[in-house]
Structure 1
Amino acid sequence: MDHVSPCEAEARPYNAVSSRWRALFGGAARKVPLDAGFGCPNRDGALATGGCIFCNARGSGTGLGSRMPLAGQWAYWSQRLRARWGQELALVGYLQAFSNTHGPAARLAAVLRELAALPDMAGLCLATRPDCLDAEKIALLAAFPVKEFWLELGLQSSNPATLARIRRGHDAACFAQAVRTAADAGLKVTAHVMAGLPGETRADWDATVDFVNALPVAGVKFHNVYAAKDTELARMHLAGEAPLPELEEYADFVACALARLRPDVVVHRLHADPAHGELVAPAWAGARRRLHNTIAEVLRVRGVRQGMNRTERT
């Protein structure tokens, strides 16, 4: 989440999570990255071993899960964040690495007890796969004692051919069922979707946004596709098998998606940020300020407002 002034947040033409959190917590908020040491069924052999073609070896986490307990990670990152942004900063825990409900429910319950004991936690975001949830785990998540809780679920695309191509390991129906079950339990679900996946067209992207619109999804994260070191996608790209979008093309994807997206859906992210040293291509994915400004300019020039071109789906 970008750190922005109240005026900048109000000026955004979409329902930004930063604005929501400023209103909810009475000031700015930042995520505290936490690695609980969970694995992924798409890597540990429960489902497959290769993982999704875009996923790095750390599962987009910090890698601290095997070296530092959650309390130590919380203290380390929260001190750094508040030293930079101020002591009044609201802190939202973020379990991002791999699939944070993978394994037995007892393991999840133990991790949630650790998290509940962390001091001064304003909220929690927990990322996982839709095929790593069941009724017992959803009940544990729904009972977590925090002011703001978001369950983040990876979809990436609603196209079955794309999901097979990126080795996702589940279908869109699995995602839809997980969203409905979680929403019925009172959880706010954030959907992760990726624009520019190999073999996809603009029509595929529009269909994914419409698919998310038709579900009881409360939030969304837009991700640009980039090739990280030691991933299958990097190999494919370097071999000429997987062209990646240009910056202007990605900005167009985001603008069109926001125009179609329900106005009530909270936008948690407009683009992904590669970890230091992992980016192979495209180079623009590592230029965060340029990427942010390009998207903002496209939205301004086109007069895009979230939901302005919403298409009703049943």
Structure 2
Amino acid sequence: MDQAAAGTAEGGVLVVGSINVDVTAFAPRAPQPGETLTGDSFELQLGGKGANQAVAAARAGATTHMVGCVGDDAFAGLVTSSLGAAGVDLEHVRTVPGHTGVAHIRVVEQGENDIVVIPEANAALDAAQLERAFAALAGTARVMLTQLETPFAMTLVAARLARDAGITVILDPAPAVPLDHAIWPLVDLVKPNETEASLLTGIRVDSRESAERAGRWFVDRGAGAALITMGGEGSVLVTAASVSHHESVRVDVVDTTAAGDAFAGHLAASIARGLPIEQAIRRAGAAGAITVTRRGSSSSVPTASEVDALLS
């Protein structure tokens, strides 16, 4: 985490990632194969891991810049207006021919969800767009936050550009897929949940001890630190020199959609402010806890004042 202190800007977060429209159906349970089930309600709103995390960082108080792509369809206006309303800078969001990315989400009564993502315009992110964004923002961003809903080749480009600019790199490796190990030395902090950590490392993460082993796997391959999140069981931070456990905030779960994104965005904003990592994790955990008490994706992400209220 040494690079967090090396950034040149005060509080700026650059988010490289996906911008989707979320089509969410709420129902008492998931339908069986071939079954038609009557649901309870429906929502259409801004989503995508990148966009959700940008909204979270902005609501956490950081100057936030989004780098991504939308289509030239009817959904583009919905997602860009929502990002803008949250205070996210859109100068480096590019419009490309075709459809804006879509996520189809089903949420059942217990608050759990399943998601199908269709990348569409997100696949158009390219190196030239990234180079323009970093050239413009290298002096104003302290942290770059990115995920895996855009092409992985571009994740590598973004991480290298951030490293060259002295910007702290946070990778939320979701949705998890096997990755080229060239990424890990470029990452200051990797933030998988237990499922993603299990898939990436081959270590079944179902306890703090196994989370420590998975965290060590990332650090051994060059990552500066690994923060394994485990929902209600809290999180485990592993660095080359230490291991620390961080408790979760207990709440009643309504909908887990965007909880990890709220965590990531508030974490990035807190690190960009220069907060110690322990405080950053505490604030991120509170943001995730508030998010699961609400329905929806980006709309459920809390503000800094709401996090303050919960922690007080």
Higher RCO (CA 8 Å, separation ≥ 6 residues)? 2
- Structure in which a larger fraction of residues adopt strand: 2
Quick check: TM above 0.5? no
Q: Normalization by structure 2: what TM-score?
A: 0.41
